[in-house]
Amino acid sequence: MIFVYKFNEELGEFEGIEIKENVPLFELLDSDKILLLVDVHSEKVWVWQGQNTSTRMKFISAQEAPKIRDKHDLAFTISSVDDSDETAAFKILVGLI
């Protein structure tokens, strides 16, 4: 199961978003946004940072990511992924590979 959160710059925190059935995760990626994906199966949290996001957004989202992780499981690891520099594992998760 995968949970997806979008960083709300005004509130300075992540908000859960609903994933529509049969919509690939890669369609949620937007260069103006920061998304956090919790992959329960692999016990991993991914923070994807769009290339048009500000340094401030990236800094605050990095501080907020552990709060979301802790809601799921303290043992989950957190990895940061930059737009256009995604790892193969992230690409597989979102359906790009």
Total of domains in the chain: 1
Spatial distance between the Cα atoms of 49 and 57, rounded to a whole number of angstroms:
9
* Averaged pLDDT score across all residues of the chain: 94
- Radius of gyration (Cα) for the chain, nearest Å? 12
Q: What is the pLDDT of residue 85?
A: 95
What's the pTM value of the predicted model, to 2 decimals?
0.93
Average pLDDT estimate for 63-70 = 96
Predicted confidence (pLDDT) per residue in 8-43, tens digit: 999 999 999 988 888 889 999 999 999 999 999 999
**Where residue 51 sits, what CATH number does that domain have?**
3.40.20.10
Percent of the chain with pLDDT over 90: 91
Spatial distance between the Cα atoms of 10 and 24, rounded to a whole number of angstroms:
27
Q: What is the pLDDT of residue 89?
A: 94
Domain span including residue 11: 2-94
| Measured CA distances, 18 to 7, 14, 41, 59 (Å) | 14, 13, 18, 25
